[in-house]
């Protein structure tokens, strides 16, 4: 064999050997999930619930009425069932609804974590284990804001998961989900962490873990594992235009969930820190106007009355750039930071004001209930009453001052086709009396409407810019 042939053969063999070696290295580096599923899969449970929901009122087409048929005849019952009130006293008929989700056992005492939306309004919660045992679960507590529910079952020899630390997660790390998509128990899907600390429009207090793990209806409440077999999140939501998985799913960090669990066990409810500001993102144009190098922080658009922020001297127009030493890149970073701060503790807030930075000390308050928060923020809750065909909201201070209304009254936000429109009630009217009774607020208005006599005309006193005006409103038959 010539020297050239020998060298060529040696080089070719070396290349082949190197290729096989690289393939072996790559194969060894691929994640191995089978042992994780065998070890911790049995602690994942299927959750089914039963609840009563009212049937929708189907009604006859516009302009048609139920005919006068013999009271005890079969046709009368048929018409009433499909097109009428559906029950005595005008109540809608109820049907039994079922929902499906997932969960996982966190301790030997039988505590189970899942999503609040899996068990919300449930009359009965059934947990099915991997060994096919079915157990009734007690709802220990729920937290709607974080979408966490804590359940408990009474059983022996329960498998449990290992809990990890979501704050140690890194982007592009491999993760695995186990759940019951579409009712298929103990289905496994894998992927990577796509992003951390995601803020969703409807969830201000949870810094979500974003993954590309396949999550579908029925996966809600199931665990998200890391490669060490530790639960690092609770699969909760997906982004989808079709209702199915599209490559973007979100999990609640287990650190957040376990803080909620501790509070639910201790007091039965969850408290969160509160600053009392309405904020918005800093755009490039706003950053330029504030003489900032780049857009960052949370711009204060409103400081709520009697709030911790107001007492600490935070002002509208301040840009909050740090909270307790943590820098804010986006305005959405602030709510989770404040929310996990202990109520009653002191926090430092660094703001940018008039081109200069200031450090303020704030005594953190407790986040109020949603209704109180809406009232204090000047964003009143809208109440819709189908009985009259209108929507109302609370009066603002400016409206009271403009119309010289010292107390009571509600503002008509929207008028649809119905009794209110027929009576001449208009958008912007302030209803101060209904059937000769004072309207104190939105909640009392709703109760007054429910108690109005059917089929009768009642007086309604409204105030417009032109002055007060009585209108006759005929209450529709129930």
What does the alpha-carbon distance between residue 424 and residue 63 come to, in Å, rounded to a whole number? 20
Instruction: Specify whether 117 is catalytic.
Output: yes
Sign of CA dihedral 61, 65, 71, 73: negative
Residues 152, 99: Cα–Cα separation, whole Å? 18
Rounding to the nearest 10 degrees, give the CA dihedral for residues 298, 304, 310, 315: 50
Of the candidates 48, 102, 194, 220, the residue annotated as catalytic is 220
Beta bridge partner(s), residue 371: none
3: CB partners within 8 A, 6+ apart: none
Cα separation, 146 vs 336, whole angstroms:
11
Which residues lie closer than 8 Å to 423 by C-beta, 6 or more apart?
460, 471, 472, 473, 474
Nearest Cα residue to 203 out of 302, 117, 78: 117
Cβ burial of 29 (10 Å; 0-12, 13-18, 19+) is exposed
Told to judge if 81 belongs to the known catalytic residues of this protein, a careful annotator would answer no
Can 332 be counted among the known catalytic residues? no
Question: Active-site residue among 39, 81, 117, 212?
Answer: 117
CB contact at 8 A, 383 and 393: yes
Which of 102, 143, 146, 147 is an active site residue? 147
Active site residues: 117, 147, 220
């Amino acid at each position: 064999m010539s020297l050239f042939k020998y060298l060529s053969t040696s080089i070719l063999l070396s290349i082949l050997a190197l290729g096989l070696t690289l393939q072996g290295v790559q194969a060894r580096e691929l994640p191995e999930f089978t042992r994780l599923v065998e070890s911790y899969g049995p602690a994942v449970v299927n959750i089914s619930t039963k609840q009563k929901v009212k049937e929708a009122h189907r009604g006859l087409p516009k302009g048609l009425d139920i005919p006068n048929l013999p009271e005890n005849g079969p046709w009368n019952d048929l018409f009433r069932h499909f097109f009428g009130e559906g029950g005595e006293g005008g109540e809608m008929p109820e049907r039994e609804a079922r929902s499906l989700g997932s969960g996982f056992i966190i301790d030997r005492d039988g505590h189970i974590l899942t999503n609040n939306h899996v068990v919300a309004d449930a009359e009965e919660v059934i947990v099915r284990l991997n060994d096919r045992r079915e157990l009734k679960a007690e709802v220990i507590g729920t937290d709607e804001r974080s979408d966490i529910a804590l359940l408990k079952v009474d059983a022996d020899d329960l498998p449990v998961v290992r809990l990890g630390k979501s704050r140690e997660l890194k982007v592009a790390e491999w993760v695995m989900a186990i759940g019951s998509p579409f009712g298929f128990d103990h289905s496994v899907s894998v992927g990577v962490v796509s992003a951390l600390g995601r803020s969703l429009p409807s969830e201000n207090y949870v810094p979500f873990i974003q993954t590309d793990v396949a999550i579908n209806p029925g996966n809600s409440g199931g665990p998200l594992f890391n490669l060490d077999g530790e639960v690092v999140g609770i699969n909760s939501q997906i982004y989808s235009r079709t209702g199915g998985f599209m490559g973007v799913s979100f999990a609640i960090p287990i650190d957040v969930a376990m803080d909620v669990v501790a509070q639910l066990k201790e007091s039965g409810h969850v408290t969160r820190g509160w600053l009392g500001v309405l904020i918005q993102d800093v755009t490039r144009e706003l950053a330029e106007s504030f003489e900032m190098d780049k857009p960052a922080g949370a711009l204060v658009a409103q400081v709520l009355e009697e709030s911790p922020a107001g007492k600490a001297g935070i002002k509208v127009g301040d840009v909050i750039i740090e909270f307790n030493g943590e820098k804010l890149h986006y305005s959405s970073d602030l709510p989770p930071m404040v929310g996990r701060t202990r109520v009653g503790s002191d926090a430092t807030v660094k703001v940018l004001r008039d081109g200069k930075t200031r450090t303020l000390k704030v005594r953190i308050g407790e986040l109020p209930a949603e209704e109180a928060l809406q009232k204090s923020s000047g964003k009143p809750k809208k109440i819709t009453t189908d009985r009259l065909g209108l929507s109302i909201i609370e009066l603002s201070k400016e409206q009271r001052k403009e119309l010289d209304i010292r107390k009571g009254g509600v503002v008509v936000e929207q008028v649809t086709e119905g009794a209110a429109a027929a009576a001449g009630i208009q958008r912007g009217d302030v209803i101060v009396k209904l059937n000769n009774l004072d309207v104190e607020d939105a909640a009392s208005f709703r109760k007054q409407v429910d108690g109005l006599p059917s089929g009768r005309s009642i007086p309604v006193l409204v105030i417009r810019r032109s002055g007060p005006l009585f209108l006759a409103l005929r209450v529709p038959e129930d």
